[in-house]
Structure 1
Amino acid sequence: MQLRRQVLENVEGLGGCHSVKCTSSARCFEVQLTHQIPKDLKLDNGDVIDCVDFYSQPAMEDPYIRENSKMKARKAESKFHEPVNEKLGGVGPRRWSCPPGSVSFLKATKAGPLNYSALDSFTRSRAKFFSESNNIEPLDDPTQHEHALAHVDDGEYRGGQGTFNIWQPILEDRDEMSLMQIWVVRRTTISDTEANIETVEAGYMVQPSIFGDHSTRFFFFTTNNSYQTSLYGDTGKKPFRNNRLRFVRQSDDVPFGMELTPISSFDGDQGAADIKIQRNDAGDWELSVSESEVGFWPRSNYLDSFPFATMVRWGGEIVNHEKTGRHTSTQMGSGHFSSEGIGKAAYVIGMGLFDSQGRLYDAPNELNTFATNPMCYDVTLWKDDNLGSYITVGGPGYDREKCP
């Protein structure tokens, strides 16, 4: 009720409930908020944003979340920066504003509604990457997903963070994709031959089969059973609506699918975003981007509440369909190999981990690195007095001699 009173006061300041006949303050809240919240906000890039009452978002269809979780809807001010003329930059400001007490969702891009069926097939093709062992293993089918990343394993972590510079990799085929992200993963051994994987993940991707364009877009994801059941984003659309996974949006900043700008330029200005995933004291996994609260995955998503992660990964991933009978030329990151360094290759700096008490510390200097196909995409671990340990990641894909 405290939230409802707060939102009611904000609505009254915009014109007030005195303009409608209400039998109670709660009823007045419902009537007036429905009147005030805008729909179909069309942005300059053609995207369409919906503002939704906090209690009407898809996650609230779950009675447990609606009634038992302690949640707060707030009007958070965006803390994205304007681009700066340095090698390490920030992401530009958002281009809309929803009323207090509401949250934002990407309804469509210029190309049309999001293609959620493509999300389902994409998710299932990722299922075996973490399922073999605690160590990184190549995929059973190397012509699908390829990775270049750094990782820590065999610990107890309450989350991780990193600053990713933003690129717009070129894809050879619209059914392929390229992304940079952080994975926070728990592997639980069930038997000698079986394990369960739970993850919370976030980053940016270019994936036209979902969004209908080649823009670089923010995404987040969770699975509670080795990618067999999963939730991309926060909408609860099919094919995900009938599973038990939910994401609770907390502000109107940074919805799933938001276009990220500015794009980094080779050896020039860099757009970057800080991504943090952390388990809070209530047991929910919180997601924030450049200090803007996005929302959280509730502990009720997970069979044993996902008490901690055993692995954290930072890096890139592409899909290689080999439709022309050779390796794809889809780029990872900037399309340049990691050896070219910061500002030329994609980077992840500020890599940090949260320990079992929730305390933040720097990722260790001796991080493990892994690349599925290092002649096509690779990763380099660097150490710097100012930046600490960081990685650069990427590659151009197809090369007649090196990556056939």
Structure 2
Amino acid sequence: MHLRAILQIVVAISLLLSYAKIEARQSLSKVEDLELERQLKLINKPAIKTIKRKYGEIYDCVDFYKQPAFDHPLLKNHNFHPEMKPTLPNLQGDDTSSNINKPFNIGLKGGGCPTETIPIKRITKDDLIRQRLLSHIRGADESPDGDDIESSILDRNNSIATVQIPYNSTNKITGAGAIISLHNPQNLSGHQFSAGRIKVQNGIESIQVGWIVNPYVYGDTHTRLYTYLKTEKLACFNTRCPGFIHINTAIPLDGDLPGSTYGGPIYDVPMYIARDISNGNWWFKFGPNYTSVGFWPSKIFTKLNEFATSVEYGGIVYSPPGVPEPSMGGGYFPVGDLKKDGYFKNSTYLTDKNETKSLDDIEVKLYANSPNLYRVTDYPNSGVESGNLVLYGGPGEHI
């Protein structure tokens, strides 16, 4: 098909989605509208305080004990509390001396939420309508409704460019982290997304942390902090299904992040997933001081309740069949320049002996399943400042 014709089709689909969303809101019956209101009351927990962010989204400060995690049937009789602290080894790999990265603050204004509450992004009626609309467009036979759509998108038909600690049943990995550069790919819409992530996995179960641009989930193209959970029974972003126990009063999941500019300025931030030595819970650590954001309890897993057997560092994108794939990372193939490339500096992992190891210390695999669109490179012993350096990215498909 001629490229101009393809462009016209893509534009038409985009306009149709925008128009259909407006129509869907206007054509809701009273029964449907009441049902959406009922769902919102179940999803959005009572707020002790609300905080509005610069893009207009609202974060509710929810009582720690009423957060969505405790809707999980295995967490009903828990003994967790808001002052919990993990027992972890000293995480190495932080870098505050770089002269190319620019500081930023993801924290909520005014110091965040009150003590013993946690911030959760409020779900709106438009969020539910968008989810409902896109599930109808995909068709009942293609994908189930709700968060299952998210899991099907994230688990299939993806393009990835990653450095991997390959699966081995004898691997006993208790954590992984790096300093991740942040980006804001612009050519995304509808069901597409683009992300940079660290992923730990054992069998079907996995945890991811990183940045993402995801219009389907958020209704915009802002760069946001994200986590993703997959167990044998659950799969979802952030707190959209029960599992992640949030403890930090100021750092929100879904929080907006800055995007680096090709050639500078550059934004980056340390992120780490680490297993608690004392009880096996998996903690998410964020920022220069490795601040605890929250954790995934070991009891919700059947595989990751022990160790991870593989790890990935790199980029992932998704686009529906027939729609040009978006850019990844900084939007260009890596050239070995930290002012231009998507990167993971000081890429490390934790052993079952709680030792921090560089990726230099283990045999890794480079994997890019669409090498004409996206690429990844690994630079062992790249220097004292950068440690093991993973570079990734690509332009995707340009019309």
TM-score range, shorter chain: 0.7 to 0.9
Pair 1:396–1:314, CA change in 2 (3 A): same
2:152 paired residue number: 124
Deviation at 1:322, TM superposition (A): 4.3
Q: What does the per-residue CA deviation read over 1:283-325, in whole Å, with 9 as the maximum and x for residues that have no partner?
A: 111111112211111111112562000001001011132435x
1:68 paired residue number: 78
Deviation at 1:338, TM superposition (A): 1.3
Aligned pairs for 1:355-374 (under 5 A) are: 355-364=351-360, 366-374=363-371
- Say which SS state the counterpart of residue 62 (structure 2) adopts: strand
Give 2:312's aligned amino acid: R
Pair 1:63–1:71, CA change in 2 (3 A): farther
Whole-angstrom CA distance in 2 between matches of 1:36 and 1:375: 48
2:314 paired residue number: 315
Pair 1:149–1:252, CA change in 2 (3 A): same
1:348, 1:390 within 8 Å by CA — same for their partners in 2?
yes
1:55 paired residue number: 65
1:119, 1:210 within 8 Å by CA — same for their partners in 2?
no
**Deviates most, 335-344 or 282-291:** 335-344
Pair 1:64–1:398, CA change in 2 (3 A): closer
1:201 paired residue number: 208
RMSD: 2.9
Give 1:68's aligned amino acid: H
1:149, 1:371 within 8 Å by CA — same for their partners in 2?
yes
Q: 2:342 aligns with which of 346, 351, 357?
A: 346
Whole-angstrom CA distance in 2 between matches of 1:214 and 1:90: 21
Whole-angstrom CA distance in 1 between matches of 2:46 and 2:237: 30
1:179 paired residue number: 195
1:23 paired residue number: none
Deviation at 1:329, TM superposition (A): 4.6
| TM-score normalised by length of structure 2 | 0.73
1:147 paired residue number: 160
Unaligned runs of 5+ in 2: 1-44, 86-95, 132-144
Are 1:233 and 2:233 an aligned pair? no
**Deviates most, 147-156 or 56-65:** 56-65
Pair 1:84–1:119, CA change in 2 (3 A): farther
Pair 1:169–1:36, CA change in 2 (3 A): closer
Whole-angstrom CA distance in 2 between matches of 1:317 and 1:90: 25
Are 1:301 and 2:300 an aligned pair? yes
- Say which SS state the counterpart of residue 164 (structure 2) adopts: strand
**Deviates most, 204-213 or 365-374:** 365-374
2:383 paired residue number: 385
Whole-angstrom CA distance in 2 between matches of 1:282 and 1:114: 40
Give 1:370's aligned amino acid: Y
| TM-score normalised by length of structure 1 | 0.72
Whole-angstrom CA distance in 2 between matches of 1:347 and 1:205: 14
Number of positions where the alignment pairs a residue of Structure 1 with one of Structure 2: 322
1:233, 1:247 within 8 Å by CA — same for their partners in 2?
yes
* Identity across the alignment (%): 22
2:189, 2:215 within 8 Å by CA — same for their partners in 1?
no
Q: What does the per-residue CA deviation read over 1:133-161, in whole Å, with 9 as the maximum and x for residues that have no partner?
A: xxxxxxxxxxx310000011222100101
- Say which SS state the counterpart of residue 260 (structure 1) adopts: coil
